[in-house]
Chains A and B, each alone.
Chain A
């Protein structure tokens, strides 16, 4: 190859290289221009779309939770309050190694396995939402975590409003408590109103008046960064706090009643007959409402659920009991109204009552029988045979509608969730329930408050209040007023109905007989009437838990769970009643031994209190 051709080859190859380079760069330039075109399209025609996304990214609407309404008693005593508590929260999606972070936090705070489980069940949540791992931290824990916080990205100490109940256990059933918003809650609530709110009223007043207590969340438009930290607040709409509630309850009376029930199982319901104001509503045993609000050992909650005495049950409105002899004043009124009982007409009460075609006699609690009695003295002495006979003569067709007028076997429309209706049986019910006709013997035992008849303590109390008002049935209520400072909206008393008698004097007859129960020497509760500064109209009741043969053993000889329930109803002062109540002590034995003294304590506390 000559040098000339070699030089020619070199030139050719350089020219070829240059061609190829130009070709490649041209192609690359074209691609770059296409990219410019694409970017131009994004930045002109489609820019609104991206601008919206960008704004959505960095401007965040942060809800400002309202403070929950406070709850007061009728005298302005604070029952439920809000206080600041701290939770240990994380943004799970922003934590790289969740398990490591949690185990690190467990070194700092006492975190229960169940709390970790609950945390994990909540799932990831959004990129900016915190999920609480542990709530209601102790001051010591707060201090310990705060020092370490800078080493724990996406872990937060968050302040929140915790609910505190001044009266703890004694108000637990009636006030209820707050609980985390559950999946079921989410389906029925307006999520808009719950933005920024973690807890919802779960029972009692907290649940009943949730919509009043809740308030309206405010809104804050803030600039946030990718970690969700708020950098600058642009716009703010303040939250509207929830309404405060003024209840009809008397906190002191409630405490007296719940102290009197300490260690017992049962209920006390006291109300003002003229208004229906519930003054005390106690169910025993009770529980510490903080178990729900704060993070004491979650085992406490499990213990509550497993407790055989079922402390979570509100016996005052959910317990259904045979009323025993406390039904007798109402049976007496039914008899007077229907003409089967005549005032002052003498009746010879034998030890037992027999009806045709019944092999088994109906025994009186008094083995030797009461002898000559009237309708009045039958109430005073609680003569069973008189009422067997009276009920038998009236029949269920006359008895059931009359008792229904007092609201027995119906819910009382108390403003508290979960009230049960009890049971006022009749022939139709029996046929439907058992496919059997009503037997006359069943009417007989209903005369002394046994059999199918079941009443809640609330029903007994409201029916007693109707005796006190001579037939005017006021709707029982817990809410007296609600509203914000100055702007109080009253919740007026409401009449449910009236029981009218052909002869109003019969009210006096029954009231006097009930006064004798407490104040006459032959009254069944005469011991509870001693030294009373006012006159009480009352009636004892002893409800059998199981039925026995001809001879029933003495209650004290039985194991506790087979002993009779002890009941007492009363109103006082008898001439101008200010309070009516019902007391039930499960397995407390005779009405006069357990329930009546408790009633006396409650009445004294209310009527003798220095103003």
Chain B
């Protein structure tokens, strides 16, 4: 009897999980542990730390998977406001080497801007979900304002890379919600016009440097361009089958900065070569398209927008990070989802997958 009870309890616990997506995620997480061991100089302690974060992330995934979208929706405004509040706190009390991005409480430190990558799709889905196309101008205006405000709070930390991603995620969910083509065109034109002003007044010198370096990394090989040059050396020297696990000379000898966080892909590409890279990109693509499939079913607009928004967020992160490692995007300081070292991103990414699975599960459940 008791045994039967446990089995049914466990099966109820894992019921909301999407088997396909889980399998894909666990495959990427296995690669993540493997490459982190190598990128952290074969330190068991650091690898263990990473494993613990993955564990917490998976628990968060499981927890989120059990929260029905309607509950999530109810809590959305409060969560978003809390996130904004934390961002304000960061501006005043945050810590970090070059910018204030971290909030610490005892031994725990996290980046509220990472949380934003969840709450932004939520708030946009919350505001625009009830409105059917053609969307009400008031709601679009309101949600754009909220996204812009959150973006601004991140930008002044300053963390331009994350700010860009936050803004792009917000706009992409608005796009999904069915905004008219005229809005898109008008917005595009506005961005084009404001670009020179942003360059002139909003950007700090080191941020401008990063953008300049993006266009010409060899101009300053020991300074800002150094990371990109060393990263390209790592990727290119990997060859077809890589230098082998733990054999990355670029990371092992510290030529490649940030090699366990922002540039983890370069280490991966150096050690596992083109074959490994193709495998990893295939896994990311499979995850993405599985997410697209999940979003298909729901008659619930909030859930659909949320799944779509989180999926696009994942896509943009993967694109921006990998493009950066081969010099096709500025060094923005954004992690590669699921692979990079760092708790905030890992946990919020896995939690996002929990939300997507919940949205799918409860949509199905309602259908039945």
Q: Determine, out of A6-14, A445-453, A497-505, the stretch whose residues face the partner at the interface.
A: A6-14
Judged by a CB distance under 8 angstroms, whether B203 is at the interface is: no
Contact B236 A49 (CB under 8 A): yes
Q: Which residues of B contact A227 (CB under 8 A)?
A: 254
* Closest beta carbon of chain B to A57's beta carbon, Å: 5
Q: Which residues of B contact A49 (CB under 8 A)?
A: 236
Q: Which residues of B contact A38 (CB under 8 A)?
A: 326, 328
Q: CA A53 – CA B237 in complex, angstroms?
A: 8
Judged by a CB distance under 8 angstroms, whether B43 is at the interface is: no
Q: CA A57 – CA B284 in complex, angstroms?
A: 32
Contact A13 B326 (CB under 8 A): no
Q: CA A12 – CA B301 in complex, angstroms?
A: 11
Q: Which residues of A contact B298 (CB under 8 A)?
A: 14
Contact B222 A17 (CB under 8 A): no
Contact B253 A225 (CB under 8 A): yes
Which of B232, B312, B318 contacts A32 (CB under 8 A)?
Answer: B318
Contact A42 B299 (CB under 8 A): no
Q: Which residues of B contact A11 (CB under 8 A)?
A: 299
Residues 27 to 45 of chain A near chain B (Cβ within 8 Å): 28-29, 31-33, 35-36, 38-40, 42-44
Q: Which residues of B contact A14 (CB under 8 A)?
A: 298-299, 301, 304
Judged by a CB distance under 8 angstroms, whether B352 is at the interface is: no
Contact B315 A226 (CB under 8 A): no
Q: Which residues of B contact A54 (CB under 8 A)?
A: 233-234, 237, 249-250
Using a Cβ–Cβ cut-off of 8 Å, how many residues does chain A contribute to the interface with B?
Answer: 45
Residues 216 to 251 of chain B near chain A (Cβ within 8 Å): 222, 230, 232-240, 249-250
Q: Which B residue's beta carbon lies closest to that of A59?
A: B249
Contact A224 B292 (CB under 8 A): no
* Closest beta carbon of chain A to B342's beta carbon, Å: 22
* Closest beta carbon of chain B to A6's beta carbon, Å: 8
Contact B281 A32 (CB under 8 A): yes
Which of A10, A33, A57 contacts B255 (CB under 8 A)?
Answer: A57
Q: Which B residue's beta carbon lies closest to that of A53?
A: B233
Contacts A32-B322, A39-B274, A58-B253 given; does A25 touch B133 at CB 8 Å:
no
Q: Which A residue's beta carbon lies closest to that of B298?
A: A14
Contact B274 A40 (CB under 8 A): yes
Q: Which A residue's beta carbon lies closest to that of B133?
A: A13
Q: Which residues of A contact B232 (CB under 8 A)?
A: 42, 50
Q: CA A58 – CA B243 in complex, angstroms?
A: 14
Contact B292 A127 (CB under 8 A): no
Q: CA A189 – CA B178 in complex, angstroms?
A: 75
Q: Determine, out of B47-55, B108-116, B169-177, the stretch whose residues face the partner at the interface.
A: B169-177
* Closest beta carbon of chain B to A7's beta carbon, Å: 9
Contact B176 A25 (CB under 8 A): no
* Closest beta carbon of chain A to B76's beta carbon, Å: 18
Q: Which residues of B contact A53 (CB under 8 A)?
A: 233, 236-237
Contact B269 A39 (CB under 8 A): yes
Contact A46 B236 (CB under 8 A): yes
Judged by a CB distance under 8 angstroms, whether B72 is at the interface is: no
B236, B253, B295, B318: most-surrounded residue (chain A CB, <10 A): B236
Contact B250 A17 (CB under 8 A): no
A31, A53, A54: most-surrounded residue (chain B CB, <10 A): A54
Q: Which residues of B contact A35 (CB under 8 A)?
A: 281, 319, 322-323, 326, 328
Q: CA A28 – CA B322 in complex, angstroms?
A: 12
Residues 223 to 255 of chain A near chain B (Cβ within 8 Å): 223-227, 231
Q: CA A224 – CA B250 in complex, angstroms?
A: 11
Contact A29 B176 (CB under 8 A): no
Contact A43 B308 (CB under 8 A): no
Judged by a CB distance under 8 angstroms, whether A309 is at the interface is: no
Judged by a CB distance under 8 angstroms, whether A21 is at the interface is: yes
Judged by a CB distance under 8 angstroms, whether B285 is at the interface is: yes
* Closest beta carbon of chain A to B171's beta carbon, Å: 11
Contact B176 A20 (CB under 8 A): yes
B158-196: contact bitstring with A at CB < 8 Å (1 yes, 0 no)?
A: 000000000000001001111000000000000000000
Q: Which residues of A contact B318 (CB under 8 A)?
A: 32
Judged by a CB distance under 8 angstroms, whether A51 is at the interface is: yes
Contact B311 A39 (CB under 8 A): no
Interface SS majority for chain A: helix
B-side interface size class: 35 or more
Q: Which A residue's beta carbon lies closest to that of B239?
A: A47
Q: CA A159 – CA B305 in complex, angstroms?
A: 67
Contact B236 A42 (CB under 8 A): yes
Contacts A25-B312, A50-B236 given; does A32 touch B285 at CB 8 Å:
yes
Judged by a CB distance under 8 angstroms, whether B27 is at the interface is: no
A53-66: contact bitstring with B at CB < 8 Å (1 yes, 0 no)?
A: 11001100000000
Residues 319 to 355 of chain B near chain A (Cβ within 8 Å): 319, 322-323, 326, 328
* Closest beta carbon of chain A to B299's beta carbon, Å: 6
Q: Which residues of B contact A16 (CB under 8 A)?
A: 133, 178
Q: CA A38 – CA B274 in complex, angstroms?
A: 11
Contact B328 A32 (CB under 8 A): no
Q: Which A residue's beta carbon lies closest to that of B257?
A: A226
Judged by a CB distance under 8 angstroms, whether A22 is at the interface is: yes
Judged by a CB distance under 8 angstroms, whether A18 is at the interface is: yes
Judged by a CB distance under 8 angstroms, whether B14 is at the interface is: no
Contacts A14-B299, A35-B328 given; does A43 touch B238 at CB 8 Å:
yes
Contact B326 A10 (CB under 8 A): no
Contact B237 A127 (CB under 8 A): no
Q: Which residues of A contact B311 (CB under 8 A)?
A: 21, 25
Judged by a CB distance under 8 angstroms, whether A295 is at the interface is: no
Contact A50 B285 (CB under 8 A): no
Judged by a CB distance under 8 angstroms, whether A93 is at the interface is: yes
Q: Which residues of A contact B172 (CB under 8 A)?
A: 24
Contact A10 B281 (CB under 8 A): no
Judged by a CB distance under 8 angstroms, whether B289 is at the interface is: yes
B267-311: contact bitstring with A at CB < 8 Å (1 yes, 0 no)?
A: 001000110011001001100110010011011010011001001
Q: Which B residue's beta carbon lies closest to that of A33?
A: B281
Contact A224 B284 (CB under 8 A): no
* Closest beta carbon of chain A to B225's beta carbon, Å: 14
Judged by a CB distance under 8 angstroms, whether B316 is at the interface is: yes
Q: Which residues of A contact B176 (CB under 8 A)?
A: 17, 20-21, 24
Judged by a CB distance under 8 angstroms, whether B82 is at the interface is: no
Q: Which residues of B contact A225 (CB under 8 A)?
A: 252-255
* Closest beta carbon of chain A to B302's beta carbon, Å: 11
Q: Which residues of B contact A10 (CB under 8 A)?
A: 132, 299, 301
Q: Which residues of A contact B299 (CB under 8 A)?
A: 10-11, 14
Q: Which residues of A contact B236 (CB under 8 A)?
A: 42-43, 46-47, 49-51, 53
Which of A17, A22, A25 contacts B304 (CB under 8 A)?
Answer: A17
* Closest beta carbon of chain A to B238's beta carbon, Å: 5
Which of B132, B237, B281, B292 contacts A36 (CB under 8 A)?
Answer: B281
Contacts A17-B176, A17-B308, A28-B319 given; does A47 touch B237 at CB 8 Å:
yes
Q: Which residues of B contact A20 (CB under 8 A)?
A: 175-176, 178
Contact B308 A50 (CB under 8 A): no
Contacts A14-B298, A17-B178, A31-B319 given; does A223 touch B238 at CB 8 Å:
no
Q: CA A225 – CA B328 in complex, angstroms?
A: 27
Q: CA A589 – CA B367 in complex, angstroms?
A: 126
A531-551: contact bitstring with B at CB < 8 Å (1 yes, 0 no)?
A: 000000000000000000000
Q: Which residues of A contact B274 (CB under 8 A)?
A: 39-40, 43-44
Q: CA A13 – CA B135 in complex, angstroms?
A: 10
Q: Which B residue's beta carbon lies closest to that of A9?
A: B132
Contact A42 B175 (CB under 8 A): no
Q: Given A29-B288, A47-B240, A58-B253, 10 more contacts at CB 8 Å?
A: A17-B305, A20-B178, A21-B295, A25-B292, A31-B323, A35-B328, A36-B281, A50-B235, A50-B236, A51-B237
Q: What are 21 A-B pairs with beta-carbon distances under 8 A?
A: A9-B132, A11-B299, A17-B178, A17-B305, A18-B296, A21-B312, A25-B312, A28-B319, A31-B319, A35-B326, A39-B269, A47-B240, A50-B233, A54-B234, A54-B237, A54-B250, A57-B230, A57-B233, A58-B250, A226-B254, A231-B253
Q: Which 9 A-B pairs have the closest CB atoms?
A: A50-B236, A54-B237, A226-B254, A225-B253, A42-B236, A28-B315, A50-B237, A43-B274, A21-B308
